[in-house]
Amino acid sequence: MRLLISLILGALTLAGAVRAQTYVLAPDRVFDGLVMHEGWRVRIEAGRIVAAGPTVDESGAQVIRLEGDTLTPGLIDLHSHVFLHPYDETSWNDQVLKESIAERSARAVGHLQATLMAGFTALRDLGTEGAGFADVGMKEALEKGVIKGPQLIVSGPAIVALGSYGPKGFREGVDIPQGAEEASGVAGAEAAARHQIAGGADWVKVYADYRWGPEGEARPTFLEDELARIVEVAHSSGRKVAAHAASDAGVRRAVEAGVSTIEHGDGASLDTFRLMAKKGVALCPTLAATESIARYRGWDGSANTMPETVRDKHEELARALKAGVTICNGSDVGVFSHGRNAWETELLVAYGMTPIAALRAATSIDAKILGKDKEIGHVAPGYVADLAAFEGDPSTDIKSLSKPRFVMRAGEIVRRP
């Protein structure tokens, strides 16, 4: 019995040692977060990158050949909802109202696993949509090694203006749980921001507009002083604000209030995008969300039957690029299947960006927006060994990012060819 226990303990120690092993990765090429390098090698020790270049010291290392592959920093998605699953499986309303937080958390575990296996090693999760602060608990479970997944940057329940969000469509007076925390008035907005932070939010997410106009159109929700107070509270605590905005007026109000990223950005004018560029506010266009919702409504994906929402999205990105706005990679995954995050990078290219620009968005640019560009998003000595390798060359064919072959998270191999 004692022998058995010591054998098991020995095996466990060995498993622990594997984590801190020294590796040399030998792909065909390395995208370092900025540019591509043919024939580079990367050495990893104790969870960190210690060398990257045409030749690296191979002594004491396990050499992993990644023939035909491109090694990149682990990819980043700045707009996810790990507590949602595709709306063609279950409507958003039914997920919020009928699925228990236990069920949603159980699903989220699988979502995180699928995300990591797809080569995404960091997610900014922008709202649990009715699951309270379950994202904070999920982040802790990841950090303790209870479950496997990408690094999670969380925003808790998110803040919406009283009466603007959903689920809606019920008789007046029926108390319906909402998909986010409602607030009203400057004092209410301030209290909500503090509540999000107290609960563990890394970023404060606010809905600057929502579909609550007389015709169901997107209209600004919070007033200027309410939004400004939310930003003031967040900044005071050292946190940034992400704003959902899908109308020109909503985007403008959020940008003027001092948010750091605009989510969606539909309908923003060239002038508004110029203001964003001037103030250094980034845009997560969430192209994949628009495309998947159009498909759920019956679009076959072909150009000649393209619905107005998708055509508008093409024009939005063109305006943003023309104005020089920083474009982040943020897909709104959850609206569509977790693990398919790379679809957004394909769409960024289909909508007018170069493959290299899309690669930068999903690595170094997203890392910079997070304020973590000294830790992740680059392949360089000193960086965390969050790495992924994909079949082919994504700088010539971005679809390569949908063919993950190898994934390393903090120096631990989680996927092998």
Interface contacts to Zn ion, rule CB under 5 A:
332
Q: Using CA atoms, how far apart are residues 80 and 99, in angstroms rounded to an integer?
A: 19
Q: How far apart are the first and last CA of the chain?
A: 38
Name every residue whose Cβ is closer than 8 Å to that of residue 252 and which is 6 or more positions away in sequence: 268, 272, 275
Which phi and psi angles does 82 have, rounded to 5°?
-70, -15
- E strand map for 138-226: 151-154, 159-161, 181-183, 204-207, 209-211, 218-220
Which 3 state secondary structure label does DSSP give 26?
strand
Q: Using CA atoms, how far apart are residues 180 and 230, in angstroms rounded to an integer?
A: 15
What letter does residue 213 receive in the DSSP assignment?
S
Q: Tell me which residue of 68, 61, 110, 70 sits closest to 89, measured CA to CA.
A: 110
Q: Could you tell me if 125 and 154 are in contact, meaning their C-beta atoms sit under 8 angstroms apart?
A: yes
Using a 10 angstrom Cβ sphere, with 0-12 exposed, 13-18 middle and 19 or more buried, the burial of residue 209 is buried
- E strand map for 204-289: 204-207, 209-211, 218-220, 241-245, 261-264, 282-284
Q: Tell me which residue of 358, 349, 341, 218 sits closest to 288, measured CA to CA.
A: 341
Q: Tell me which residue of 62, 103, 60 sits closest to 85, measured CA to CA.
A: 103
CB atoms within 10 A of CB 44: 29
Using a 10 angstrom Cβ sphere, with 0-12 exposed, 13-18 middle and 19 or more buried, the burial of residue 98 is exposed
Residue that has been written with the tokens 């693990």 in this structure: 339
H/E element, 313: helix 308-323
